[in-house]
Amino acid sequence: MIAIALRNLKHRPGGFIATFVSAFLGAALLMAFASLMDTGDSESLTTTATVGGGWCLVIVAFAVTSTLSLSVRQRADQVALLRSAGATGPQLRRMIVGEAAAIAVLASAAAVPVGWVLGRVLLSLLKDTGQVDAGVGYQFGAIALGTGFGVTLLGAVAAAWATARRTAGNAGGKPERPRLRRIGAVLFLLAGANCSILTATVMDGKGVDAMQTAGQAGIWAAIGLALLAPELLRMVTAVVGPVVRALGGVAGELAVTGVHSRSRQLAGAVMPVVLFTGVATGTVYMQGIEDRAAEGQIQPEYAQDIQTLNYVVVGMIALFVAVMLVNTLIAATARRRREFAQHRLAGATRGQLLAMVSLEVVLVAITGVLGGSVAALFTIVPFGSARAGHLWPDASPWQYAVIVTLAVLLTAAATVQTTRRTLRGPATAAIRA
Amino acid sequence: MNDAVRVESLYKTYDNGVTALDGVSAAFASGTFTAVMGPSGSGKSTLLQCAAGLDEPTAGRVFIGGTELTATKDTARTKFRRGRVGFVFQDYNLLPSLTVEQNVLLPLRLAGKRRKDPKAILGRLGLGDRTHELPERLSGGQRQRVAVARALVTEPAVIFADEPTGALDMRSAREVLTLLRAVVHEFGRTVVMVTHDPVAAAHADSVLFLADGRLAGSLARPTAEAVAERLAHLGDLTTRIAA
């Protein structure tokens, strides 16, 4: 079955691009942060590596698992075909896990030079800010490679194993287990709340160190809410649905009906929006609070530079999540080729389908932005309490507006553009494919 | 009698150089049930899809109820098609997320026409008690009956059926074929059906044979035996030409 796995990779590389991209970028980020630990063990190096790397670790693991399970589910047809040809469950599992491991190794190997460059950039920023001695030489060694390859490979293999159990378990495919997903969501939310409470209590007065727990709080909460995406989507649709229906005509009606019956598939699109909005808002506002709190405490010539360093870290993570957002949406939309074709055969024009998808984007974006905003509060509120002494940050709302606009624009562009591409060519060809 | 569908010297060559249609001209009169038959690769499915406006011929013209379908762009063709043409597929192509009733009404809704009560049609097709079920809960034969109801709902000039019984067991197949006959002789519609099964073809009023993308004769009031014999002959002919 490993032979089939490798043949699949060679024959249909397109189906694996999404997983490859998220594994590649994730491994590069992890390597960059971990290489700081290779470079030395001074406090600033370790802090930057653990704070930045710690945030990345969770996000990368989640990104790799979610894109991978999406791409495996996308191939349910092939799995069914192999099953009917006599492949046993364990054989299929070996194939799916083998593919995932191969992608993870390839992506991590390709990520080495990028991680090396990013790590150098981080080190030079640390040197510029005087946090690390100018004489320290950059090292990219065992910790960088171990973390990069290790996390990517483990995440991919674990996700492949779990997804394969579901898709390849029996001929009909086991139904999704919402209870397991909900329990997971609650656990993540509890972990987030725990970090929030720690930030507001134990870390109060510990200064900049509170960033570590506060940042984690938002990320755990964002993942918890992302796991609840189907439920959130149904709630939002219950409220906004009638408006969409009234304004969108038949396209609106199809969009709303689609949400009810395909909420699990559409939830795949909501997840990255929650994560992007939550992580970006949380980290940017936390940095804003930190900037104001640190005013006057650090030598003024360094204050600006340290801000730069922190925003570079925040920017790298936000960029990663943005790529993951686009990546996931493209994969989730391209997968609907057959469904779109069936609509067209029933008489839907391309314009009507684009209208339907755009209205779905509205529902997805509202749900994602709401979930993400709630997750960001897990970071902002306790950090504000610990660092600035009040819960609500006295920051301007324009950064939030930029993040939300970006989230909506990325969601709309990725989805509508992919739909447009998927609608090319005659519908009969799309049905056969 | 008016022609519901007329095709004039249709040619279709695919990107890979395969010629599926090599100059086919044919007319299908209103209120008739015609089967189109031929060996695999004879171009019968391509003919149906070009005639229905689902695929574009490389050259030639298609008329539905006297209006030319070719020479319009995709969106215009879709709009024309959903009002004048019904289509029944081998694998049903019902939308899994919509109920039976929603599936049947979809072409009307997409066309922005007033909602009509599908109960009469669904009741007539023996699906009166399944209107709120999702397709996945229906048997193959029931799904195909829903597909026929969906094709009927816009009162089209013609219904095309591509191997409508290909995925069904014998009993369900016979039900669907009887239904298609009723569509012609009771509802007064026109049906053009592609099939490779002589028994299915025997339900039609006449059979049109296709080989290598060209017309290869026709048969009125077909029986399964007569059709099978003609098909075997066509197969021999094709093999001889190839050799």
Q: Please tell me which of the candidates A257, A343, A426 has its beta carbon nearest to residue B54.
A: A426
Mean pLDDT of B206-225: 92
For residues B235 and B38, what is the distance between their CA atoms, to the nearest angstrom?
8
Question: Residue A1's pLDDT band (boundaries 50, 70, 90)?
Answer: low
Q: Do A353 and A303 touch, CB atoms closer than 8 A? A: no
CB nearest B110 (choices: A346, A428, A431)? A346
Please state, in angstroms and rounded to a whole number, the distance separating the CA atoms of residues A365 and B224: 58
How many contacts does A have with B, using Cβ atoms within 8 A? 64
Quick check: helix, strand or coil at residue A219?
Answer: helix
State residue A174's pLDDT score: 45
pLDDT of residue A416: 93
Q: Which of residues 326-385 of A touch B (CB under 8 A)?
A: 339, 342-352
Rounded Cα gap, residues A331 and A326, in angstroms:
9
ipTM above 0.95, yes or no: no
Q: Please write the tens of the pLDDT for every residue from B98-137.
A: 889 989 988 888 888 776 777 888 888 888 888 899 898 9
Tokens of A133: 């001695």
pLDDT at position A201: 87
CB pair distance less than 8 Å for B75 and A344: no
- Residue B83 banded pLDDT, cuts 50, 70, 90: confident
Per-residue pLDDT tens over the stretch A149-204: 998 999 889 888 888 777 655 444 445 567 888 999 999 999 999 999 998 888 88
**Residue B98 with chain A: CB contacts under 8 Å:** 257, 261
Nearest-by-Cβ selection for B93 from A250, A350, A431: A431
The pLDDT of residue A179? 84
- Nearest-CB residue to A350 (from B56, B74, B106): B74
**Distance, C-alpha A207 to centroid of its chain:** 29
Interface test with A, best of B48, B93, B114 (most A CBs within 10 A): B93
Q: Taking CA A173 as the corner, what is the angle to CA A170 and CA A176, rounded to the nearest 5 degrees?
A: 125
Residue B66 region by backbone torsions, left for phi larger than 0, else alpha for psi between -120 and 50, else beta: left
- Tell me, letter by letter, the H, E, C secondary structure of B97-149: CCCHHHHHHHHHHHCCCCCCCCHHHHHHCCCHHHCCCCHHHCCHHHHHHHHHH
Rounded to an integer, the average pLDDT of B181-194 is 91
Interface of A with B in 249-288 (CB under 8 A): 249-250, 253, 257-258, 260-262
Instruction: From chain B, pick out residues whose CB is under 8 angstroms from the CB of A261.
Output: 96-98, 134
Q: What are A68-107's pLDDT values in tens digits? A: 877 777 777 777 777 777 777 788 888 888 888 999 999 9
Measure Cα distances from A7 to A35, A85, A335 in Å: 34, 17, 21
Chain A CB contacts of B97 below 8 Å: 257-258, 260-262
> Which residues from chain A sit within 8 angstroms of residue B49, using beta carbons?
426, 428
CA atoms in the 13 A half-sphere facing the CB of B221:
0
CB A273 within 8 A of CB A247: no
CA dihedral A243, A248, A253, A258 (to 10 degrees): -90
Q: Where are the domains of chain A?
A: 1-175, 177-433
* A428/B55 touch (CB, cutoff 8 Å), yes or no: yes
Check: CB of residue B102 under 8 Å from CB of residue B142: no
- Per-residue pLDDT at A301: 59
Cβ contact, residue pair A347, B134, below 8 Å: no
Query: How far is the C-alpha of A396 from the C-alpha of A285, rounded, in Å?
Result: 9
Mutate to test the interface with B, among A77, A237, A245, A254 (most CBs of B within 10 A): A254
Mean pLDDT for chain B? 88
Reading phi first (left if > 0) and then psi (alpha if -120 to 50, else beta), residue A288 is in: alpha
Q: What is the pLDDT of residues A240-268, one digit of tens each?
A: 989 988 888 888 888 888 887 777 778 88
Q: Which residue of B has its CA nearest to A350?
A: B75
Question: Nearest by CB to A250, which of B97, B109, B154?
Answer: B109
Residue with more model confidence, A238 or A261: A238
Alpha-carbon A416 to chain mean position: 20
Measured between beta carbons, the chain A residues lying within 8 angstroms of B91 are 431
The residues on B that touch A, with CB distances below 8 Å, are 49, 54-56, 74-75, 78-79, 81-82, 87, 89, 91, 93-98, 102-103, 106-107, 109-112, 134, 150, 154
Q: CATH 3.40.50.150: does it fit domain B3-242?
A: no
Per-residue pLDDT, A171: 42
Predicted confidence (pLDDT) at residue A303 exceeds the cutoff of 80: no
Q: Measure CB to CB from residue B87 to each of A261, A345, A426 and give the nearest one.
A: A345
CA distance to partner chain A, nearest, from residue B224 (Å): 29
B2-42 pLDDT, tens digit per residue, is: 789 999 999 999 888 888 999 999 999 999 999 999 888 88
State the pLDDT at residue B2: 79
Number of neighbours of residue A127 by Cβ within 10 angstroms? 17
Can you tell me the mean pLDDT for A45-62? 81
User: Can you count the helices (H) and strands (E) in chain B?
Assistant: 8, 10
Can you give the pTM of this predicted structure?
0.80
Query: According to the model, what pLDDT value does residue A220 have?
Result: 92
How far apart are the two ends of chain A, measured CA to CA in Å? 24
Any alpha helices (H) in A295-397, and if so which ranges?
A: 300-334, 337-345, 350-387
What is the number of alpha carbons within 13 Å of residue A263 lying toward its C-beta? 20
Look at B110 and A348 and tell me if their CB atoms are within 8 Å: yes
The alpha-helical segments, DSSP class H, found in A169-228 are: 178-200, 210-227
Question: What's the whole-number mean pLDDT along residues A260-288?
Answer: 87
Cβ distance A345 to B55 less than 8 Å, yes or no, reads no
Residue A296 scores a pLDDT above 70: no
Tokens of B204: 């039609």
